[in-house]
Structures are given as structure tokens and as C-alpha cells.
Amino acid sequence: MMRAGAHLMITGVWRKASLFWSDRRGIAAVEFALIMPILLIMYFLTMEASQAIETSKKVSRIGSMVADLVTQQTSVLKADVDAIMQIGSVTLQPYNRSNPTITITAIQVSADATQALVVWSRKLVAGVASPGATATTETTVPASLKVANTFLIRVESNLVYKPVIELTMTSAFNQIKMGETYFLRPRRSVAISCSDC
């Protein structure tokens, strides 16, 4: 046998439960709390992807610009080559989480077009210039550019791209390697000498 007070109590609980479920005032706040983390992740990933694409374009631009500046000279000095590489590294701004590696190599193709030998070479690693490949060592040149008695300038620009947001689950996306290699011929002379390289 149920007393009247207990019946009223159960009815009151049901009424409160039905009011709670039918109340829609806080639903927008709950939806926002559930969707906001996903939106933030998408925003940051989109931002990071666009910056990575722009940085990759700049790495390519470094190679073409440095090669263009060197091939306009008839002769260079070590200080000139180092300054040109520094100019190239500055083009990456405002990206500044890692430094590019730039290597300039002057190459002479032999008279029978079988060998490509280093004439001089300089490189810029972490903002510090130093000698590159040793002179007279053999190097690789694409077959289409291996023309007898020709002189080439090869510029290699490389960068390890470090995203703003580092993913802890995998290191594959924490460092993205970007690079480009350009070959150009001298414009104002047959060869470009560097007396102190």
C-alpha cells in the first residue's frame, strides 16, 4: 500500500526529470564545448600546412636566387660567396625555427664529358660558412647537363622544417625535410673562378 506522500514524491521526481530533458537553454553551450576542440585542431593544422607550403616555396627560391647571383659574376671571392649565401638564408624570414643549409659548388665538365670535377665549393650550415666539397673530386651532374668543356654552378638548398605544434605521437611530422637543387651556367664568362675558396 502506497502512501499519498510517496506518490507525490515520485511524481515530483518524474516532473523534474521531464523538465530537465525538455529544457533546451544550455544545449548551445554543450554543443560548443564539444565542437570547439575539433575546430581549434583544424585551424592550427590548416595554419601549419599553409606555413609549411610557403616555407617550401622559399627553400626553392633560395636555390634559384643564390645560383642566379653567383652566375652573374665573372669571378668571386670567398667573402662574396658567403655573403650571397647569407642573403639566401634571410629570404626564409619570418620562418626562424631552423636554419637552411646552402651549398654552392662550381663544377667543370671534362673535355670528353665523362667526368664532372669540383672546382671550388662553399657551404652555409647553421649560419656558419665553411669549405664545401674538396677541389678536383668527382661529383654528380645530370646526364642532360654533362656537356664537354662546360662550367656549371650547382646550388643545393635544404631545410629541416619544424612545425609550431609538435605531435608527440610520431616524429615523422615533427621534422619535415625540404630541399631543392639548381644547376646554372655562367652568364658573363666561360667559368667563374674563386681565388681563395
Q: What is the DSSP string of 54-109?
A: HHHHHHHHHHHHHHHHHHT-SEE-HHHHHHHHHHHHHTTTT--SS--EEEEEEEEE
pLDDT at 67 over 70: yes
Q: How many domains are contained in the chain?
A: 1
Question: Is residue 10 a part of any domain in this protein?
Answer: no
Residues 90-102, mean pLDDT to the nearest whole number = 87
The enclosing H or E element of 160 equals: strand 151-161
| Higher per-residue pLDDT: 5 or 22 | 22
Question: Is residue 6 a part of any domain in this protein?
Answer: no
Give me the domain span that covers residue 180.
Answer: 29-194
Q: Which of 192, 185, 176 is nearest to 55 (CA)?
A: 176
Q: What is the pLDDT of residues 97-130, one digit of tens each?
A: 888 999 999 999 999 988 999 999 999 998 899 9
